[in-house]
Structure 1
Amino acid sequence: MFKKAVEAKSQQRLSGADRKKLKRSIKDKFPRASDSDLDALLPPKAEVTVAKFQNRVLVYVVEGGFPVFFDVDGRGSDIFPTVFALWMVPELLPAFMLKGGEVSRYVIGGADLMFPGISVPPEGLPSFAAGETWAVKVPGNPAPIAVGSTTMSSAEALKAGLRGKALRITHYYRDFLWESVEGRYVPNAGFLEDVVYEDPSLFPPAHDSAPNEVSCETSIDHQNNTKGGEAEESLDVNELQTDSGPALTTPKDGENDTANEITTGVADLELPDTGSANDTTDQLSASDVDSLLDKCLLQALHTTVKDKDLPLPGSTLWSNHVLPCRPSGMTLDIKKSSYKKLSKWLQAKASSGLVSVKEDKYKKEFMLLSVNRNHADYKSFKPEKRPVEKSDQSSAHSANETSSSKTLEVAEIYKPSVHVNSIFSSVGADIGKLYTASEASDIVFKYVEKENLVKPTDKSIVVLDAILCDALFKGAIKKGTAYPSQIHKKDIGSTFVSRMQPHHVVTRGNESVVRKGAVKTIQILTERRQGNKKVTKLSGMETYLIDAEALSSELQKKFACSTTIAELPGKKGHEVLVQGGVIDDLARHLIEHYGVPKRFIEVYDKTKR
Structure 2
Amino acid sequence: MVVWKRAEVSASNPVRSSDVRKLRQELQTQHGDWIRDEDVEALLPASKSTNFTLAKVSSPKATVYLVDGEPILFQLSKSDALLPTVYALWRVPHWPCLETIGEVSKFLLSGADLMGPGVFRDGSVDEWEEHQVRAVRVRGNRYPFAVGHTACSSRSLRSTEKGKALVVEHLVGDALWELGSRALPNDGFRLGEAILPAEEEEEQEEERAPVGDGDAPMVAAAAAAVAPDAAADGDGDEAMEALAESLPSKIDLTEATPPSSDMSPDELLLHCFLQALTTHPEVPLPIDASKFYMECVVPARPPGTTLDVKATSYKKLGGFLKAMAKRKLIKIKDQRGVILLAEVDRSHELLRSFQPSRQSAANATTAAARDNGNGTAANAIRVQEWLKPRAAQQALFQQAPDMERIAEAPAGMYTAEEVAHVVEQHVRQQGLGGGQSGVVRLDEVLRESVRRSGGTPPDELSWAELKRAVTDAMEVHHCIGEGGRLHRGRAEPVRIIVEDRQGGRKHVTRIQRVSAYGIDDQAFATDAQRKFAAAATVAEIPGSAKKGGTAATEVVIQGAFAEEMHEFLCREYGVPRKWCDVSDKRKKRVK
* Band of TM-score, shorter chain: 0.3 to 0.5
Q: Which has the higher helix share?
A: 2
Question: TM-score normalised to the size of structure 2?
Answer: 0.37
Question: TM-score normalised to the size of structure 1?
Answer: 0.36
